[in-house]
Every structure is written in structure tokens, then in C-alpha cells.
Structure 1
């Protein structure tokens, strides 16, 4: 029963025409109201009062006489007021009054309610209802002593202490004022010092020089004094997988960064004109400059190698001079047509590999051969094999059309595949494509030069140089960068064993990891005081003391030792130079 319900009951009592009943209940009602006000909520009183006027029906459906009271088992502890006596006088007469169910029967409460001429009219007059009200208060557990005891109990939720719930030792100081253990403070001090951090997290975003080298030569930060040098035209695969050609001294930006390459020569002639007599055809023919497909350059210069109707091997080849013990790479761009498998084979090394042009897979590879297949746009793949020559002689370089791995089969006179841009070079991996016609052709080395002015700090002071590299492969000593101070200058390079090194002031640092082709590495050289540190991918590889750094800084050559030798075969990007020493944490985050 809600507080509102109790108020309604009391209001019905106060509206009674019996002044004595109103006077008696008014006092007790006010007492009950005060108790309810103290608790803040109405207790669960199970009392239903009907109008104290003589009535023939009861509110909520109860009868006005004793015989009409509901089943006591279903109304345990409920109190009903019977307003009209009933039954045979002095025999089975049931008087009016308050009845309470004990679950078995209805029992008359001692309220001293008297009936005036109960035999006849059944009119109810007020008597002493003190006992009935006390019963109501006890049933509802609403009395001043209970309320006082409840409020004074420290164990209840209205007055819980920290100690009572096991939080007596909790530190209530503000977060910023909480103490830090000595061990934690030492670890924090080791990771960073407040003096090293200013601006945007230690100025990681504010290097002295920043060359992204992904789209163009514009500097993200620093002086725009970067020049590019290459004395020949060259090709590259752009970030969208298209083959591009550029003139001399024009940089080549790819998805992996600025392409840096040393010198290489395509030993094959007529690299795109397979109909030329330099290419011998066996049980096969060539469709020249077919419009059926777009070649890797985006034009229609690709050619189709297709079968005749013979039963046998179907291939073309061109002979080249080999030197025993020299490593070579034979490559070609290919796309599937009716035939989906291409075999590349060199008799100079007696080695070959089989390629799936539908799915870009290497199906088989002879022992001692390193095979590669790289996807371009428009359905083209560049397939290559790397091998070591076993003779010093002129030997053939073959491109086979195959069926289910077999080079020998019955042709149908039309089925074949598309080829473009054949290349043979004395390299342990495929470099950028070098077009040829009547003679072999050479692509010369390239490098990028950064002016020292306002870009490179003095080597006698603290500094940091960081860059990302993706090696094309391992081919002798490859310089990532260097300067003109040959003996004491700064150098980052990959040695013939595939290990990355850094030197400054004649002191060499070794990364002790072997790089792999097409994998990205972040290399970082730091000078702080008299110490130099060498990091790869955020991990410190070695540190040493340096006592003789070059007195003067010099221009920095990217992809070369000093602009004249030691060229690398590598993609370079995200070159940054700081005029301070980055912390170990900054190196990991940079």
C-alpha cells in the first residue's frame, strides 16, 4: 500500500458523520501520518476500509456482512471492516467490527466497536479503536522506535563507512597527487626526460629536413635543394602498377618510395619485337602489336606467341653470351590468353621455372634457380628466373607456351599467350626494364643529392638521420646514403652478406640482421655527445664511442657513397634529419 493510499483511507475516516469516531481516529491518524512522513515511504499495510456509514455493498467487491467476507486463506493478515451485523440474534449473530485473517479464519479484533440495536439496524458507533491502530502499526513495522534504530545503525547503507566495506586504507588524494613508487619513477626517467620533449611530442613532426619521396621531390620540411642525377632514360612501375618511362635526370617515384638503382645492361636485342629474326620460333608464330590487349605501358605493342598445329614443343628463343660462374636474371612481361602457363628456361644455366599467368603463381622451379612473379595492372605479370651460368659460351634463352606443365603438345594453330619486354642482365635480381632494339642497352646509376645548407647539422653536435628502405636484392656493397668525407663521413650501406652497417668518424656499427628483398626496414643513426647509436626498425643494434667525427658537414648523397661509386639498388622514402638526438622511445615511435 502506498503513502497515497493510506492518506485516502484516513480521509474517508475523517469524512465519517460519526463525530466520536472522527475524533478518536483523527489523533491516531495524525500519529500514523507522522510515522509515514519520517520513513519517507508508505509501509506495506494490507488494510481495506470501507465507508463507515451503514451500506449494503462494499468497495472493491467485499460484502457488507460477515458472511460475505472472502476466503481467509487467500487474504492472510488482511483486515476488513464489517459495517452491518447479520444472522439470528443471540444465536448466530455476527457483529460489525474489524476482522483479521490468520489464513484459516476471520477473527474479530478487540476494537470495542458497539452496535446500536444491532439486532435491528446494525448502525456502528465509535468505540475505542486504540488496539486496532496499534495492531496496524505493529504489522507495518512503522513506529518511532524502529525508525530511530534504523537511522542510528551505522551498518545500514545510509551511514556506511570505508572501514565497514574494507576500504579503510584507500588513498583519497587526487590522481595527480598520488605517489609513484621509486621503481616506476626510475623506469619513467629512463624512457624519457622532460627536457627532451618540447612541442609536438619531442618535435617528431618537426625535423630539420623531411623528404617523403613517395610522389615527388617536394620537401615536407627543410630547404628544397634536392637534385636528382641519372645520365640515361629509365623505366619503373608506378604506384598504380603501370610501366612508365622517364628521361634522364627524372626521378622515379613508386609505391615503395624513390627507386635507386646502379648500372645494368639488357643483353637481349629487340626486347619488344619478337617477330624479328633475332628471335627463333619453333612450332609457334607471333602476332605483332596486337590490339587485343593493352601492353604494360598502356599502348598496343604487346605481341602474341601462339601455337602452330604441330605435335611438339612450342617456343621462341634468342642466344646470348654467358660467362661461367656469373649470376644472371632472365625476365619477361607476360599475360594469359588461351594458354595460361609460361616456362622460362636458359641453356646457359640449364635452369628454368614454370609460371601460372592466371593466378600469379610459380608452379615449379629447378634447383639452384630463384624464381619471381610480380603483378602489374591490366592482367600483366613480370616473370623472372635467377641462375648461375655453367659455361662461357653463347646459349639460348627460351620462352615456352605450355599446357598443364607440358612443353610438348599438339597445337591448335591459334591458342597462345601475350609477351612483352624480354630482358637478360648480369644481376642477382630483376632491375627496372631496359628497352632494346638493334643492340643491347644500359641504364646508368642514379642518385639524389641533398644540400648541407640548413638541412644537415654539424656532425660535431647531436643529430639524428632516419629513413625507410626496401632492398631490391643483394648485389655487392650497396650504399643507402653517404657524403664526401670518405674516411670519416656518414654512411649507411648494405654489405655483400646482406647486413646493414652505419659509420661515422671512422667508427662502424653493425645491425647484425640480414635484409631480404621487398621488405621494409627503418634505419636510424643517432649521435649524442661522444656516442653513436644504430637502430633498425626501432631496435638498438649497436652503440659505440666516436672521437673523430668530420669537422664539417657535407652534401648528402642518397643511393650512393659519394656520387661516384657504391650505388644501391633500393627504394628509399621518409628521409628525416633532426638537429638533436632522438630518445629511444622517440625512435620507436618515429
Structure 2
């Protein structure tokens, strides 16, 4: 499988809660299995992925000490895995904190999601060097200490089996973070690690008066509901008066706000998680229009709906203050003086 660059990655700051998340040969509690460290090339292109070899008991798992989870907070639990002679891995977190069974299964030979614990969102996506990223997103239902671990399995739902003492798979990059959007891996070795939010601006002031935008990007990998993700925004220094394109509840919107109130909103329709798209939009009073992927124009022709206040800042992948981060890639942004109704679908194709 060939992996290709997707453009500029713009993400919010995150904290990795696993204190040792790439080297599984120390700092992990092993049950019924052993680790062969640095056995193959990992997704990062270095010889850093470990082999998990099952023993001959009926449980083959590895985990770290319990941490405190907070009710109402959404967490992402994930690991990169690659099949060898075992194809299945289960990502587990404490059902006392998240409900359900706690077990979420992934087939890392075929890149398929298996049985999931009730209430969880499970996703799998390809990574470099034959690995798959196995992702579980869930909201804590009860505050308190909870366990988290990873289990070998011999089938979907098959975490309890007698190991043969030799079968194995490869793992790399365990992760536990607060958030509803999947962001890049953060390596840790002894303590939790926090990253700062990315900042990207267009500094050409001439673009601030352009009526037309062309944006090509990839939607975030995230929960189907939650907060908005801003792919591009122009504003007067804050979020009350702005023009923007954002992603919310699986839909893309082109919006103009005045005094914090949306005056014109173009609903561009559903776009799936992790999907490439192209939008061309025209911000003109009584002539507001946009096309998604070259499709039919969505318009707003009521006068007085366009924010005409002086724009001072063009932000890529976030709102003012760094909030509502895009948490995905943006491969192209262009501003134009204007574009006609006939030109917009062509620009978005």
C-alpha cells in the first residue's frame, strides 16, 4: 500500500498519558507474553516496533498502571499493529469507567474493525510499513481509576485462548489522549508529554479583501458529533466577526458571522471522516455561493448577510485563539478577487 503526502498538518495541542509508549520491553506489565524489542521497522521508518510473542496461558496482554479518568470527558485509546502469525488485537479500557465490555477488536492483516464495546467509536486506518492504526474513541461515564491494556486475540472476540508459545504480532506507538479528534503520535519514554497547538497564517494582506476562496483538504478522523473543526478563517482579530469554512457533525459549512451571530450559513452537505474534499466559495453581499467537489451551487442572496468589517487575519486550520483546530491535513488554499457562478464548480472540481 502506497502512502502519499496530504499537505499541511494543523493540530491542537495534546498530552500523551502513556508514560512509555514505544518501547514495550520495560515499563509495561506483561501477562502470558514476552517482548522481542525493535524487531521490525515501525511506522516512523526506524527499527523501533516490538514483537509481542504469546506464551502458553489463556491470556496474552500488556498494560500500564491504572490512571484516573473523568466522567464526561472523551478519550482516544489506540495502538499501531502489524500482523505476523497473529492477525487480531484487542484495545481495552476499564468498563467501570466506560461501560460495555471494554474490549474492541481489530484485524490488522486485513485492516478491518471487529466487535466493539458498546458506546465506543472504533476506526482503523493504514500506516507506513504494513502497520494499521487501531483507534477507539469513547466518553468516560464514571470518574475514577481505570485500567488500559492491549490483548492478542486469535479471532474477532477471541481474547481468551491457549497460546501456542510462538505466535506473535508487531506493535508500536500506544496512545491515550483526551480528545475527540485523532492527532499525530506523541512519543514518551518516562513521563507524559504535552505538545503545543500548531499556528499557520497567511500574511499577504492583499488576500484579506479577496471574495473567493478555494480550499482542498481532508476531513478529520473523529467522533461523528462534537465540536467544530475550522479549516480556514478570516477575521478582525477575534471570533465574533469572521468568514470561515468548518466541519461539524459530519457536514461542511461556509459561514459569515457578525457580532458572534451567523448571518449566512451554506450547508455544503455530508462528508465522511478522513475524506478529501474541495470547496470554492464566494463571499459577496446578496451573492454568497459555494460549490463542494464541483457540485451544484449552494447560495444565499439576502442582502446584509455578509460580514463587511475589516478583516485583519487569515488563519489556516484554527479559529482565533487557536481553538477549533482542524486536526487534519490541508493541501491547498487559494484566495481570488472573485469568481462567477460558472467558475465556482470548476474551481472546486
The 8 Å contact of residues 78 and 176 in structure 2, kept in 1 or not, is answered as yes
Structure 1 residue 423 displacement after superposition? 0.2
Q: CA deviation at 1:265?
A: 1.8
Aligned partner of 2:336 in structure 1 is 578
In the alignment of these two chains, the number of paired residues is: 331
Structure 1 residue 470: Cα displacement: 1.7
Q: Measure how far apart 1:497 and its partner are.
A: 7.3
- The answer to whether the 8 Å contact 1:464/1:525 transfers is yes
Q: Which has the larger radius of gyration?
A: 1
Q: CA deviation at 1:529?
A: 5.5
Q: Specify the alignment match of 2:135 in structure 1.
A: 384
* 2:31 maps to which of 278, 282, 286: 282
Alpha-carbon separation, structure 2, partners of 1:528 and 1:409 = 64
Q: Give ranges in structure 1 of 5+ residues lacking alignment.
A: 1-238, 242-253
> What is the rounded CA distance, in whole Å, between the counterparts of 1:298 and 1:522 in structure 2?
31
Counterpart for residue 194 of structure 1 = none
TM-score (norm 2): 0.85
Instruction: State the partner residue of 1:509.
Output: 265
SS of the aligned residue for 1:365 comes to: coil
Greater RCO (CA < 8 Å, at least 6 residues apart): 2
| CA–CA separation in structure 2 for the residues paired with 1:324 and 1:551 | 42
| 1:88-487 superposed matches below 5 A | 241=3, 255-277=5-27, 279-290=28-39, 293-310=40-57, 312-318=58-64, 319-347=66-94, 348-349=97-98, 350-405=101-156, 406-457=158-209, 463-472=211-220, 473=222, 475-485=226-236, 486=238, 487=240
Deviation at 1:558, TM superposition (A): 0.7
CA shift for structure 1 position 342? 0.9
Cα 1:516–1:452 change in 2 (3 A) is same
Say which structure is richer in strand. 2
Q: Which structure 2 residues correspond to residues 44-55 of structure 1 after superposition, within 5 A?
A: none
Give the TM-score taking structure 1 as reference length: 0.52
**Contact 1:535–1:542 (CA under 8 A) maintained in structure 2:** no
Residue aligned with 1:447, SS: coil
Judged with a 3 Å threshold, the aligned counterparts in structure 2 of structure 1 residues 342 and 549 are, in CA distance, closer, same or farther, namely: closer
| Mapped partners of 1:528, 1:483: distance in 2 | 14
RMSD: 2.5
Structure 1 position 275, deviation (Å): 2.0
Map 1:549-564 onto structure 2 (within 5 A).
Answer: 549-562=307-320, 564=322
Distance (Å, rounded) in 2 between the aligned partners of 1:547 and 1:384: 41
Q: Quick one: structure 1 residues 352 and 454, their matched pair in 2 at CA, closer, same or farther if it must change by over 3 Å?
A: same
SS at match of 1:378: helix
